[in-house]
Structure 1
Amino acid sequence: MPLLDLCTVQPDAAVSSHAFFGPSSQIGQPPALSELVSLYVGRCHSLWKEPGLMLWLEENVRKVLNRVDSHDPYVEDCQNKRKQRYQSAPRNIHRHVLMSEIKEATSTLPLEVTTQPGMGFDPLPPLDSIVSYIRPERYNL
């Protein structure tokens, strides 16, 4: 749905009213998955505006909804995997989101990331950074 919103495409009623793609499904999404989806959509939405791609997407959304409505066990398996795998994004993903400055993605960052003090040139440096430059000591003569 966020992809369609940015592409200014109105989904058909069967999709927008279906619980699988509705607002409650997006709210119940693991935080890291929301962050990754927002980053992807922010970066790639313009590529999806091609009419042929939208037809392909519509066709595949229908296939997904058919699987959901027929209670395909694969759908439940995928939902369980998403809940397990996307609980929190690694620090390097948060850093990438901050450096990308994609507003859709930065709004999904957790508070512990957005409230940290940082430097403008590197807002969230790796914890194991190696400083390769040491300022030479100044001698007063």
Structure 2
Amino acid sequence: MCFNPNEIVTVELDCPGWTAPYSRAITRRQLGELLLELDDMAEGAITAPEWPTAEQAYADAPAIAYEQAWTERIANISSDELDRDWYLRHAALLDRIALRDEHDQLGTATEEADATALMLLDMDQAPRGYDGRAYVRQQYALWAQQEARR
């Protein structure tokens, strides 16, 4: 099978946190070069993006009691059909509770926040090398920005 290296193909990239996929027309030769470059990059260590602090991520978040009531109510109504927003808000809630309690001692709240953050990483197919709770904060901040625009 023979390919024309100058044939135009469309490449579409989409990552968690992006508002829309990025699409671009390139030649097959350019695509081959891009794939080789990505292979080289994959051999290196995972570099995490800059994470927002908890204060930045949760600056405009509802009170913990409100979020706790909301997550419980939604889980009781439709436990079979929980969406990503629910899992994100639940992970952020547990992160906020753990942050509040970590000043006293590490315990169940921290363990639950860590476990729920890993679930969100898996759900989003994000690299496991990321700090799970920092990822939750980043995703919550992005989600909150989108909600504010609505």
Q: Which has the larger radius of gyration?
A: 1
* Class of the TM-score when normalised by the shorter of the 2 chains: under 0.3
TM-score, with normalisation over the residues of structure 1?
A: 0.26
Structure number with the bigger relative contact order (C-alpha 8 A, sep ≥ 6) is 1
Q: TM-score, normalised by structure 2?
A: 0.25
